[in-house]
């Protein structure tokens, strides 16, 4: 885990790129970011983006956006648009270089024909089950297909007819002819094309009845685009020999693949397939649910792009598998919001307070600081009157030891206002507290007593006559286990039943005009962001993160290195 404040100046990928430029393997840097449009981007993709776009930028090179749209069954135009929006939101720019793997289907097909003609690819009539059964295992070599030694003419004819849609799905594949006994299973005659007559592709329509596999598309696309460094996550390390084999046999521009470890977060799943399941099964309210680790979810929750990028930067670029503590993300978000968020007062669980000796009908305007971290943010005034709401938690009828907030007989400070002392509690027939009665000291306006007496606690409040009712959504971690995927039951079994709590609270008048996406610190509560579900009459606030910094505690308890 990286906790160091000073950024690492470089990493193993940047070192490799630098070396390639020095020794002349490449004379420029050109990378690509290759999302598959089968879901929305999540924070893990941010790591890939900071590497792909970041390295291009650092070396004065370019980075293409290339949609890896080779599977019409799972992909959709809806995802393409949202992915572009999310990349822009983070501040990355592909300029005019927006490409699609499907742009290259014709060239790719011609390249496949080239391999067939060289005797390096063949049409296999085995069923998908037979292909996989005959691949062998790590300890046993595979079995050669009975169709492996077809003539070039027959292969060309069959491939053409596969392409024309003459054969049903699953009846044939095109395979590279490499080595069925190769120690790397990816080299045992990997499948290049499979037949998929349906559904139509979101860009090429019904033109194609065969679609390339990842291994037979990605590296070739890299080469066609002149990508120098194809940076991908670690699961492709075993595919690198195949990546290089295709480029060597085709004798085309040789891009270099370098792998890095994926970003993993505790208490989080980061896989589009699994996130899709959460959406489909209704465990969350959509891809942009503020509990989702998607960029849209985080945006709706109130995270800024700056905070997300800072977090990814701090997590670092490593070659080895690791899991980053989600508390680090929360801590970075908190630091970022602390600097930029105006302070407001909001009462989430209201308790009515009546100031018995305050004049009826009087309203005073109290001056409140907008952001102690930012002097330019200035001040505002908040109305004060006889009836207020305070937080239920700020009152105890029988205070536990060291409880310094309000209780009968005790005096506290109302933020930006007066000292008040609790005189008595009013209850209904069921014994439930309905309101609190207090007296105020008119000489303490601003919060200090002229006689110098001290109070141990300052609490926030809103004026009942002026406050606006608001829906408050409190979010907690979506999973109860640090590794949601550990064990037999799977991640759905450890969904936190309390990951969302909805409250009706009261917020100060100024928040009535706030707009979706605006962020605030609710004093003593946490950071909140206005949700798009808000109406002009009733705002909805998402809690981005609470004020408590569990990360700082963890860090403190760790021995210093």
Q: Which residues bind ligand ATP (CB under 6 A)?
A: 34-36, 44-45, 47-48, 68, 232-233, 262-263, 270-273
Nearer to Mg ion, 150 or 218 (CB): 218
Nearer to ligand ATP, 273 or 427 (CB): 273
Nearer to ligand ATP, 48 or 192 (CB): 48
Calculate the alpha carbon distances from 29 to 12, 55, 238, 336, 434 in Å: 16, 8, 24, 32, 68
Give me the catalytic one of 262, 380, 415, 473: 262
Residues 6+ apart with CB under 8 A from 435: 351, 352, 353, 354, 425, 426
What is the C-alpha end-to-end distance of the chain, expressed in Å?
12
Residue pair 412/455 in contact by the 8 Å Cβ criterion = yes
386, interface contact from ligand ATP, Mg ion, none, CB < 5-8 Å by kind:
none
Phi-psi region of 189 (alpha: psi -120 to 50; beta: other; left: phi over 0): left
Give me the catalytic one of 14, 18, 36, 306: 36
CB of residue 36 to Mg ion, shortest distance in Å: 5
Phi, psi dihedral angles at 194 (to 5 degrees): -125, 160
526, interface contact from Mg ion, ligand ATP, none, CB < 5-8 Å by kind:
none
SS3 of the chain: helix, strand, coil, percent, to 5: 30, 25, 45
Minimal CB distance residue for ligand ATP:
44
Distance of alpha carbon 287 from alpha carbon 289, whole angstroms: 6
45, interface contact from ligand ATP, Mg ion, none, CB < 5-8 Å by kind:
ligand ATP
Residue pair 512/468 in contact by the 8 Å Cβ criterion = yes
CB of residue 542 to ligand ATP, shortest distance in Å: 24
Minimal CB distance residue for Mg ion:
36
CB of residue 237 to ligand ATP, shortest distance in Å: 11
Phi, psi dihedral angles at 321 (to 5 degrees): -60, 135
34, interface contact from ligand ATP, Mg ion, none, CB < 5-8 Å by kind:
ligand ATP
CB of residue 271 to ligand ATP, shortest distance in Å: 4
Nearer to ligand ATP, 83 or 351 (CB): 83
270, interface contact from Mg ion, ligand ATP, none, CB < 5-8 Å by kind:
ligand ATP
Nearer to ligand ATP, 45 or 150 (CB): 45
Residues 6+ apart with CB under 8 A from 383: 363, 364, 365, 366, 463, 465, 466, 509
233, interface contact from Mg ion, ligand ATP, none, CB < 5-8 Å by kind:
ligand ATP
Run of H or E residues at 19? helix 12-22
Q: Which residues are at the interface with Mg ion (CB under 5 A)?
A: 36
Nearer to Mg ion, 76 or 533 (CB): 76
Distance of alpha carbon 148 from alpha carbon 146, whole angstroms: 6
**Count of alpha carbons within 13 Å of 229, Cβ hemisphere only?**
32
80's tokens: 């393409």
CB of residue 41 to ligand ATP, shortest distance in Å: 8
Distance of alpha carbon 31 from alpha carbon 331, whole angstroms: 31
386 counts as catalytic: no
Nearer to Mg ion, 108 or 327 (CB): 108
203, interface contact from ligand ATP, Mg ion, none, CB < 5-8 Å by kind:
none
36 counts as catalytic: yes
For residue 134, count other CB atoms closer than 10 A to its CB. Answer: 17
CB of residue 398 to ligand ATP, shortest distance in Å: 50
For residue 434, count other CB atoms closer than 10 A to its CB. Answer: 11
Give me the catalytic one of 32, 272, 299, 301: 272
Distance of alpha carbon 348 from alpha carbon 334, whole angstroms: 20
78 counts as catalytic: no
Calculate the alpha carbon distances from 175 to 163, 271, 353, 479 in Å: 14, 28, 77, 42
CB of residue 479 to ligand ATP, shortest distance in Å: 16
| Residues designated catalytic | 36, 262, 272
């Amino acid at each position: 885990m990286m906790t160091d404040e000073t950024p690492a100046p470089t990493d193993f990928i940047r070192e490799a790129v630098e070396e390639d430029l020095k020794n002349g393997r490449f004379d420029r840097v050109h990378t690509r970011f290759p999302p598959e449009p089968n879901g929305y981007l999540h924070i893990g993709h941010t790591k890939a983006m900071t590497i792909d776009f970041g390295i291009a930028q650092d070396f004065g090179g370019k980075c293409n956006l290339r949609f890896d749209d080779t599977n019409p069954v799972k992909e959709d135009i809806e995802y393409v648009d949202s992915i572009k929006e999310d990349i822009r939101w983070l501040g990355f720019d592909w300029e005019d270089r927006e490409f699609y793997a499907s742009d290259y289907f014709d060239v790719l097909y011609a390249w496949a024909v080239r391999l067939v003609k060289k005797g390096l690819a063949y049409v296999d009539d085995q069923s998908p089950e037979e292909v996989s059964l005959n691949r062998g295992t790590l300890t046993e070599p595979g079995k050669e297909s009975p169709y492996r030694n077809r003539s070039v003419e027959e292969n060309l004819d069959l491939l053409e007819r596969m392409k024309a849609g003459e054969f049903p799905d699953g009846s044939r594949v095109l395979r590279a002819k490499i080595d069925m006994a190769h120690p790397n299973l990816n080299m045992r005659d990997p499948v290049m094309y499979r037949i998929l007559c349906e559904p139509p592709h979101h860009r090429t329509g019904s033109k194609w009845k065969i679609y390339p596999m990842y291994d037979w598309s990605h590296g070739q696309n890299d080469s066609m685009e002149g990508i120098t460094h194809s940076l991908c996550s670690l699961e492709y390390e075993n595919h690198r020999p195949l990546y290089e084999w295709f480029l060597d046999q085709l004798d085309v521009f040789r891009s270099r693949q370098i792998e890095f470890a994926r970003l993993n977060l505790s208490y989080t799943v980061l896989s589009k397939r699994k996130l899709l399941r959460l959406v489909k099964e209704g465990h969350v309210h959509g891809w942009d649910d503020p509990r989702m680790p998607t960029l849209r979810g985080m945006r709706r929750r109130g995270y800024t792009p700056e905070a997300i990028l800072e977090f990814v930067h701090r997590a670092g670029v490593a070659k080895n598998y690791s899991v980053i503590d989600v508390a680090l993300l929360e801590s970075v978000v908190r630091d970022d919001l602390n600097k930029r968020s105006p302070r407001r007062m909001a009462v989430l669980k209201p308790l009515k307070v009546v100031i018995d000796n305050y004049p009826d009908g009087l309203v005073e305007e109290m001056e409140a600081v907008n952001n102690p971290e930012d002097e330019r943010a200035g001040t505002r005034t908040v109305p004060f009157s006889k009836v207020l709401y305070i937080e239920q938690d700020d009152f105890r009828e029988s205070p536990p030891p060291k409880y310094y907030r309000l209780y009968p007989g005790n005096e506290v400070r109302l933020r930006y206002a007066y000292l008040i002392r609790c005189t008595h509690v009013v209850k209904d027939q069921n014994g439930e507290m309905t309101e609190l009665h207090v007296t105020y000291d008119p000489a303490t306006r601003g919060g200090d007593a002229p006689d110098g007496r001290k109070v141990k606690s300052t609490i926030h409040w809103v004026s009942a006559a002026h406050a606006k009712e608001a829906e408050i959504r409190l979010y907690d971690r979506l999973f109860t286990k640090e590794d949601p995927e550990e064990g037999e039951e799977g991640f759905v079994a450890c969904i936190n039943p309390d990951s969302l709590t909805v409250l009706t609270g009261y917020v100060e008048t100024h928040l009535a005009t706030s707009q979706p996406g605006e962020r605030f610190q609710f004093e003593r509560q946490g950071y909140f962001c206005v949700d798009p579900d808000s109406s002009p009459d009733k705002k909805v606030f998402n809690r981005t993160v609470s004020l408590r910094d569990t990360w700082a505690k963890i860090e403190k308890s760790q021995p210093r290195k």
